[in-house]
Amino acid sequence: MYERFWQLSCCPFENDSDQRGFFRSATHQATLLKLRYLIENGKGCGLLAGGTGFGKSYLLQVLSRQIAETHGPFIHLVFPQMAPSELLNYLAVELGADVGGHESSLDRTVRAIEQRLRKFTEEGRHPVIVVDEAHLIEDMQVFQALRLLLNFQQPDKCRFSLIFAGQNDVLNTVRRLGQLEERLSVKCLLRPLSPEETIGYVSCRLEAAGATRPIFEPAAMQPLHELSGGVPRRINRLCDLALLVGFADESSAITADQIEAVAEELTAVVPD
């Protein structure tokens, strides 16, 4: 709606996986490098944790595109609240195995997974299995089933990487599962953006959307960081609404007052 007014080619603050808007903050760049190290060096299992809106799923999408030519398939499980047998059956199907429908025995499913993993290794490929929203898993047997899959890993016969991703609660869950924690080669914890990184993030997103001039006044950056807490999703929401308000007001640039106004609207409590 407001793109033409601000002379942009697209909405700069959409929560999408367009790599053009990927801002390499210290925490996101370090995490991406660790995950690539995990995969490219066949280290087995990793953990990615961070609060809501910190960009975990976005970062995983960037990762999948970066390794697409040399690895794969990239299996991104976004609904892990299944029974262990259901989850393993899902993985088998995603890996291209014929498990004979939902009534397949657990033994047949596991054998099918192992066969497919070995086949990919023979072809010079390296599957990556991402279990997203892992903090929602309540059945600890799911974690145990996935841990047992790691026993298939052999350098020359069966290579793949398993990554758990979720909110910070998943750190405590994995810590309680000592055998699984011992299998983790890397742990990544996403942190909020600093004030300077918030400025860089906004500039990166605007440039990716075709901005050729400053759109946010420098004075707007401090309240933006404070009100968002440096959380990318919150920054996106505040900036998106501020651009809409600025368009409606025919502003020449977004001010600190406009950032504060949209933040107040988002947190307003509707009276009974």
pLDDT tens-digit readout, 41-62: 888 899 999 999 999 999 999 9
End-to-end, the C-alpha distance of the chain in Å comes to 33
Hey, which residues does 48 pair with through a beta bridge?
Answer: 165, 188
Cα–Cα distance measured from residue 51 to residue 167, given in angstroms and rounded to the nearest whole number: 5
pLDDT tens-digit readout, 58-115: 999 999 988 877 788 999 998 888 899 899 999 999 999 877 655 568 888 889 999 9
| Cα-based distances in Å from 228 to 79, 155, 260 | 28, 44, 11
Closest CA to 12 of 258, 176, 246: 246
In the predicted structure, residue 232 carries a pLDDT above the cut 80: yes
Domains of the chain and any CATH numbers: 26-189 (3.40.50.300), 193-266 (1.10.8)
In the predicted structure, residue 17 carries a pLDDT above the cut 70: no
Check residue 191 and give its pLDDT. 96
pLDDT tens-digit readout, 118-146: 999 999 889 999 999 999 998 999 999 99
